[in-house]
């Protein structure tokens, strides 16, 4: 596999504490790569190292097969979590200024900006000052600035914070568009449902170390708890009494003839065995494994145990693949 | 060989790109400030104020020309005839008793009434001056001086000393200071005006350093609190951003200064042509010329000219300016202003980066303010002895040299000292910038943390 960015054994010390401890990541080309972790885990430090805002104490960095060097900033777009704009500056002028700092010449920048401003309904605001903009508009402008120089690698740190649901969707679409057009995205967030939606791979950092990494689907599969959701019609026998005591069965809901069960099978028992037994109990409408959400996996890996509701709570939300 | 050339071309190209970015930053910093309303107002008000300072005294002097009328009740019948009218004070004898004279004053006939009692010879403390308004100080001093001389000569006569002898003994001393210039020409010197000019430029530099230094500080704080800084330093190095801002603001200062000089000259010239009679040189009545000089027409002419020029405040300033090497003065002012500003601006930038809000800047401003204020406090002493050891040392130390050297330059400073001071100042500027950039690059990414000197010391030691 080709990687757009690789970090090998990165260590970074601040006076008094270790921000990153022997961290390595490999970001495959044309993918959305989630960088996850609780506050203070070291995500921002790693992102700043990728952006060459700070340097690592130890370790090697590669961009597109080359050793990372200052000129590479022109191929990287960065939307920091703590982001802002010059309040008193007109937005068109400001966007041009920031684009020029990324080595886009003024003429090209202007042309591209007009297109993007049009797309995000910002064009009538070109000559307005930032302080006259709503927060959402300022966020859109920042997004445009981040992607304008068509970077090969995009880094979004909490990109959705401060957006309304409509704009979140607009942004998600754009991010996936960018990936489909060849860009790679490093995506750092606490919003786990969006991770499931758009990330291909993730790395989970906790206390300066990587504790989990890999493909999102595979990670969820490997965290399987053997929980299935079953819908039955024409139930002849209640499942609770039919299945052996090794199964943990609970009735989730019942409407007219339709019964909804949540079953947890013991480890090592093939799911077909369970299905066979269920088929005897009634007409199977659906039979689905319920994988833990990224949210639960995050909590499990950081704190060491799943949140209580994963094991006990009855109305467990369905997070199917 | 080819490979080496290729590498060199690549380095030059990348350096050029980096320089380009600094240029883009400078341009933004410059334009946003120059377009501000406050800049335009300051640029126009500055020359008006300066011109007012230069022209105002002339008009004020002309306005207060009205003669102070003093009615004299001389019961001694001796002193009145000895009081001489001057330009500003006129005496009239009143053959009335003092109560009647005061009544007359109350009607508004005289500005003041002077009462000389009968036995004033014995007791000069019996002299009284009456006025409804407070007495004009100049008139009072004038009368006191005249009467003092009269009493003195009276007493001398009493002791049997002849007034003619006394006149012969009286000697007038007026040292004319002559500066020897390199080309052998003798030039009349104006130490007082050199002092004024020196102190004025020193204070101007002090003011400029604070004004533009705090503009840098506020700019850095704006970027930090607006959270735009992280976006920018993902494109350029923090050092480039800091230098771009510092240079941009320096150019704003330079622009303002040059516009000020230009506009001030225009306004002064315009006023001079509009009111020529106010600026005419009126010759004084008496010119003291020693017996030797009387035979030397060259000196005579020069002496008269000086007195004539001294007579008009504007002429005085013009003459002082012409006696001072103005291009050197302006040139060194620009150098010491820029270099002094650069020395402090990076420190201002570091403070802006270290704090989260304006209130926190106070504790870190102290180390910057102390040397500057110290230089201003020492200004008088340096001006009194511009070549003394204190002056020389303070004009070498980079933190005080911009102000102190500017103070000394109107008096003439050996070129070697000027160059040494300049070199040290440039070294100092490189040093503070290096130090400040270390604080800056860590500080701009620190949010919500109250920093202390200890913390900043850690940032400086911090590598990478």
Residues 7-26 in B contacting A (C-alpha not used; CB under 8 Å): 14, 17, 21, 24-25
What is the full DSSP assignment across A154-171? EEEESTTTT--HHHHHHH
Residues B159 and B199 in one domain: no
Record: contact A48-B24, CB cut-off 8 A: no
Neighbours of B289 (CB within 10 A): 14
Find residue A78's DSSP bridge partners: A155
HSE, CB side, 13 Å, CA atoms: give it for residue B290.
Answer: 9
Nearest to B236 among A80, A101, A145 (CB): A101
Which residue in B has a C-alpha nearest to residue A49's C-alpha? B234
Tell whether B76 is within 8 A of chain A (Cβ): no
Averaged pLDDT for residues B135-148 = 77
Choice among A29-33, A90-94, B194-198, B253-257 with the minimum mean pLDDT: B194-198
Q: Do B234 and A51 touch (CB under 8 A)?
A: yes
d(CA B204, CA A81): 43
Give dist(CA A51, CA A80) in Å, integer. Answer: 10
Answer whether residue B129 is part of any domain. Answer: yes
- Which residue range forms the structural domain that includes residue B114? 67-169
CATH number at residue B91: 3.40.190.10
Number of folded domains in chain B?
A: 2
Burial class for B214, CB neighbours closer than 10 Å (0-12, 13-18, 19+): buried
Question: How is residue B420 written in tokens?
Answer: 């040494």
B440/chain A closest Cα distance in angstroms:
13
| Cβ pair A76, B234 in contact under 8 A | yes
Which whole-number Å values give the CA distances from A8 to A21, A62, A156, B43, B380, in the listed order? 11, 8, 21, 56, 64
Of A237-251, A293-307, B335-349, B428-442, give the lowest mean pLDDT range: A237-251
Q: Report the alpha-carbon angle B199-B204-B207, nearest 5.
A: 125
Residue B89 in tokens: 């004070």
Per-residue pLDDT at B421: 93
Q: What integer best gives the mean pLDDT of chain A?
A: 86
SS (H, E, C) B357-369: CHHHHHHHHHHHH
Is B232 at the interface with chain A, CB within 8 A? yes
User: In 3-state terms, what secondary structure has residue A29?
Assistant: coil
Distance from C-alpha of A50 to C-alpha of A35, rounded to nearest angstrom: 12
* Segment B448-458, tens digit of pLDDT: 677 888 888 87
> Which residues in B lie closer than 8 A to residue A71 (C-beta atoms)?
14, 17
Classify residue A69 as exposed, middle or buried by CB count within 10 Å of its CB (0-12, 13-18, 19+). Answer: exposed
Q: What mean pLDDT comes out for the span B314-336?
A: 70
Q: Is B193 in contact with B317 (CB distance < 8 Å)? A: yes
- Which H or E run contains A28? strand A17-28
CA torsion, points A234, A240, A244, A246, in degrees to nearest 10? 130
Q: Phi and psi of B418, rounded to 5°? A: -60, -45
Considering B139, B169, B199, which residue would you say is the last residue of a domain?
Answer: B169
CA-based Rg of chain A, rounded to a whole angstrom?
Answer: 24
Q: Given an 8 Å threshold on Cβ–Cβ distance, is A80 in contact with B235?
A: no
> Does B45 touch chain A if contact means CB atoms closer than 8 Å?
no
Residue A34 banded pLDDT, cuts 50, 70, 90: very high
> Hey, how many other C-beta atoms are within 10 angstroms of the C-beta on A55?
13
Phi, psi of B357 (to 5 degrees): -150, 165
B32 closest CB neighbour out of A54, A74, A89: A89
State whether residue B34 sits within 8 Å of chain A by CB: no
Query: Does B365 share its domain with B437?
Result: yes
> Which residues are CB-neighbours of B429 under 8 A, at least 6 positions away?
B339, B342, B343, B346, B398
Neighboring chain B residues of A101 at a CB cutoff of 8 Å: 21, 24-25, 232, 235-236
Q: What is the pLDDT of residue A319?
A: 43
Interface test with A, best of B25, B31, B225, B235 (most A CBs within 10 A): B235
Chain A hits for B232, CB-CB cut-off 8 Å, are 98, 101
Assess whether B152 and B279 both reside in one domain: no
Q: What is the pLDDT of residues B114-134, one digit of tens each?
A: 888 876 666 667 778 887 777
Average pLDDT over residues B33-58: 82
Instruction: List the single best residue of B22, B231, B454, B462 to mutate versus A (max A Cβ within 10 A).
Output: B231
State the burial class of residue A182 (Cβ atoms within 10 Å of its Cβ: 0-12, 13-18, 19+): exposed
Q: Estimate the crossing angle of helix B191-225 against helix B361-384, to 10 degrees.
A: 170
- Chain B nearest C-alpha distance from A61 (Å): 15
pLDDT in tens, A264-276: 888 777 888 888 8
Of residues A92 and A190, more confidence is placed in: A92
Contact B230 A103 (CB under 8 A): no
B357 in the same domain as B218: yes
CB contact under 8 A, A55 and B458: no
Q: Say if residue B285 is in the same domain as residue B228.
A: yes
% of chain A with per-residue pLDDT over 90: 35
Contact B268, B48 (CB under 8 A): no
Residue B409: per-residue pLDDT = 86
Across residues B355-371, what is the average pLDDT?
86
For residues B136 and B227, membership in a common domain is answered with: no
Give me A80's structure tokens.
């920091």
Q: Which chain A residues have a beta carbon less than 8 Å from that of B28?
A: 97
For chain A, the maximum distance between any two Cα atoms, rounded to a whole number of angstroms, is 75
Do B117 and B264 share a structural domain?
no
d(CA B71, CA B73): 7
Residue A321: pLDDT over 60: no
Least confident span in A150-159, B58-67, B328-337: B58-67
Closest residue to B24, CB basis, from A76, A82, A101: A101
Closest-CA residue of chain B to A52? B234
Residue in A89, A98, A103 nearest the CB of B231: A98
B401 vs chain A: nearest CA distance in angstroms?
36
Mean of pLDDT values over B365-385: 88
Q: How far is CA B313 from CA A29, B200, B304, B310, B317, in A?
A: 79, 16, 16, 7, 6
Could you give the CA distance from residue B138 to residue B142 in angstroms, rounded to a whole number?
A: 6
Last residue of a domain, one of B135, B169, B203: B169
Any domain includes B231: yes
Greatest Cα-to-Cα distance within chain B, rounded to the nearest angstrom: 112
Residue A10 β-bridge partners = A23
The answer on B308 and B450 residing in a single domain is: yes
Structure tokens at B40: 């335009």
Does B15 have pLDDT greater than 90? no
Q: What pLDDT, in 10s, does the model give residues A55-67? A: 898 999 999 989 9
pLDDT at B282: 42
Q: What is the mean pLDDT of chain B?
A: 79
Contact state of A70 with B237 under an 8 Å Cβ cutoff: yes
Beta carbons of A101 and B222 less than 8 Å apart: no
B343 and B373 belong to one structural domain:
yes
Dihedral, A273, A274, A278, A279 alpha carbons, nearest 10: -30
Q: Which tokens belong to B406?
A: 């500017």
Residue of A nearest to B19 (CA): A101
Residue B333 lies in a domain: yes
Residue B404 lies in a domain: yes
> With 50 as the cut, is the pLDDT of residue B44 above it?
yes
SS3 A19: strand
- How confident is the model at residue B126, as a pLDDT? 75
Cβ neighbours around B442 below 10 Å, total: 23
In this complex, the residue of B17, B226, B236 whose CB is nearest that of residue A85 is B226
Provide DSSP, A42-78: SHHHHHHHHTTSS--SEEEEEETTEEP-GGGGGGEEE
State the pLDDT confidence band at B62, using cuts at 50, 70 and 90.
low
pLDDT of residue B164: 75
Q: Are A204 and A210 in contact (CB under 8 A)?
A: yes
In-domain check, residue B1: no
Calculate what percentage of chain B has a pLDDT beyond 90.
21
Closest-CA residue to B378 (of B355, B405, B411, B338): B405
Residues B124 and B221 in one domain: no
Which chain A residues are closer than 8 Å to B223 by Cβ?
A: 86
Give mean pLDDT, residues A71-90.
89
B12, part of any domain? no
In angstroms, the CA A146 to CA B243 distance is 24
Asked if residue B271 and residue B352 are part of one domain, the reply reads yes
Q: Where is average pLDDT lowest: B11-20, B72-81, B297-306?
A: B297-306
pLDDT value at residue A146: 92
Q: List, in order of start, the domains of chain A with CATH numbers.
A: 3-220 (3.40.50.300), 224-311 (3.30.70)
Residue at B437 is within a domain:
yes
The angle subtended at Cα B406 by Cα B418 and Cα B311, nearest 5°, is 125
Most B CBs within 10 Å: which of A47, A84, A94, A158, as the mutation test of the B interface? Answer: A84
Distance from CA of A142 to the nearest CA of B (A): 9
* Contact list, A56 vs chain B (CB under 8 Å): 464
Q: pLDDT tens digits, residue range A132-168?
A: 988 888 888 999 999 999 999 999 998 888 788 888 8
Which of A320 and B122 is assigned the larger pLDDT? B122
Residue B177 covered by a domain = no
- List the beta bridge partners of residue A13: A18
- B300 shares a domain with B228: yes
Of A84, A89, A100, the CB nearest to B24: A100
**A80 contacts in chain B (CB < 8 Å):** 227, 230-231, 234
Q: Give the closest of B28, B230, B238 to A82, CB-based.
A: B230
Q: What is the pLDDT of residues A193-250, one digit of tens each?
A: 888 888 999 999 998 899 888 998 899 988 888 888 888 888 777 777 777 777 888 8
Of B227, B235, B447, the CB nearest to A101: B235
pLDDT of residue A178: 92
Q: Which residue of A has its CA nearest to B31?
A: A89
């Amino acid at each position: 596999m080709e990687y757009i960015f690789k970090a090998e054994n990165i260590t970074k010390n601040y006076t008094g504490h270790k921000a990153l401890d022997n961290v390595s990541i490999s970001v495959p080309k044309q993918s959305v790569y989630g960088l996850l972790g609780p506050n203070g885990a070291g995500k921002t430090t790693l992102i700043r190292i990728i952006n060459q805002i700070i340097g690592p104490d130890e370790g090697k960095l590669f961009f597109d097969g080359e050793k990372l060097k200052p000129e590479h900033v022109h191929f990287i777009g960065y939307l920091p979590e703590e982001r802002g704009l010059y309040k008193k500056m007109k937005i068109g002028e400001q966007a041009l200024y920031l684009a020029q700092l990324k080595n886009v010449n003024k003429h090209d920048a202007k042309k591209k900006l007009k297109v993007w401003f049009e797309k995000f309904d910002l064009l009538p605001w070109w000559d307005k000052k930032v302080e006259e903009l709503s927060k959402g508009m300022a966020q859109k402008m920042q997004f445009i600035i981040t992607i304008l120089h068509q970077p090969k690698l995009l880094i979004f740190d909490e990109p959705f914070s401060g957006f309304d649901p409509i704009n979140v969707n607009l942004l998600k679409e754009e991010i996936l568009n960018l990936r489909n057009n060849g860009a790679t995205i490093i995506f750092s967030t606490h919003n786990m449902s969006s991770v499931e939606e758009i990330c291909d791979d993730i790395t989970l950092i906790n206390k300066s170390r990587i504790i989990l990494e890999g493909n999102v689907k595979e990670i969820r599969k490997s965290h399987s708890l053997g929980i299935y959701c079953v819908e039955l019609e024409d139930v002849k026998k209640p499942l609770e009494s039919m299945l052996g005591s090794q199964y943990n069965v609970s009735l989730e809901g019942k409407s007219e003839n339709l019964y909804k069960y949540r079953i947890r099978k013991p480890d090592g028992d093939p799911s077909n065995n369970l299905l066979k037994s269920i088929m005897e109990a009634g007409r199977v409408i659906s039979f689905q494994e319920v994988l833990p959400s990224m949210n639960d996996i995050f909590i499990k890996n950081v704190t060491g145990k799943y949140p209580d509701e994963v094991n006990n709570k009855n109305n467990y939300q369905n997070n199917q693949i | 060989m080819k490979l080496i050339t290729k590498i060199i071309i690549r380095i030059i190209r990348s350096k050029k790109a980096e320089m380009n970015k600094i240029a883009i930053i400078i341009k933004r910093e410059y334009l946003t400030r120059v377009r501000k309303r406050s800049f335009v107002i300051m640029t126009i008000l500055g020359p008006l104020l300066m011109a007012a300072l230069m022209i105002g005294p002339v008009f004020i002097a002309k306005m207060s020309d009205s003669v102070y009328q003093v009615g004299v009740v001389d019961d001694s019948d001796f002193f009145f005839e000895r009081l001489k009218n001057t330009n500003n004070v006129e005496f009239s004898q009143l053959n009335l008793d003092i109560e009647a004279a005061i009544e007359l004053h109350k009607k508004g006939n005289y500005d003041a009434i002077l009462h000389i009692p009968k036995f004033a010879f014995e007791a000069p403390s019996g002299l009284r001056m009456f006025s409804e308004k407070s007495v004009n100080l100049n008139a009072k001093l004038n009368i006191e001086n005249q009467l003092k001389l009269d009493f003195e000569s009276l007493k001398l006569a009493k002791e049997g000393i002849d007034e003619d002898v006394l006149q012969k003994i009286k000697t007038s001393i007026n040292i004319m200071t002559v500066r020897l210039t390199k080309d052998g020409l003798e030039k009349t010197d104006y130490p007082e005006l050199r002092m004024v000019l020196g102190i004025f430029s020193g204070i101007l530099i002090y003011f400029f350093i604070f004004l533009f230094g705090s503009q840098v500080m506020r700019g850095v704080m704006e970027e930090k609190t607006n959270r735009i800084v992280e976006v920018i330093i993902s494109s350029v190095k923090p050092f480039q951003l800091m230098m771009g801002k510092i240079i941009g603001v320096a150019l704003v200062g330079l622009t303002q200064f040059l516009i000020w000089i230009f506009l001030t000259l225009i306004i002064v010239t315009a006023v001079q042509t509009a009111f020529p009679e106010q600026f005419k040189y009126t010759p004084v009545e008496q010119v003291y010329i020693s017996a030797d000089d009387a035979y030397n027409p060259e000196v005579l002419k020069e002496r008269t000219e000086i007195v004539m020029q001294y007579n008009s405040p504007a002429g005085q300033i013009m003459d002082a300016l012409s006696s001072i090497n103005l291009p050197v003065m302006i040139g060194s002012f620009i150098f010491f202003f820029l270099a002094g500003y650069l020395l402090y601006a990076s420190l201002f930038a570091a403070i802006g980066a270290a704090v989260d809000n304006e209130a926190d800047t106070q504790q870190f401003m102290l180390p910057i303010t102390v040397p500057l204020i110290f230089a201003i406090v020492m200004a008088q002493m340096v001006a009194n002895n511009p070549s003394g050891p204190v002056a020389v040392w303070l004009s070498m130390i980079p933190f005080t040299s911009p102000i102190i050297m500017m103070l000394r330059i109107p008096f003439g400073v050996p070129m070697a000292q000027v160059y040494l001071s300049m070199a040290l100042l440039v070294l100092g500027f490189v040093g503070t910038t290096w130090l400040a950039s270390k604080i800056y690059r860590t500080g701009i990414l620190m949010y919500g943390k109250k920093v202390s000197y200890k913390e900043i010391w850690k940032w400086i030691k911090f590598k990478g």
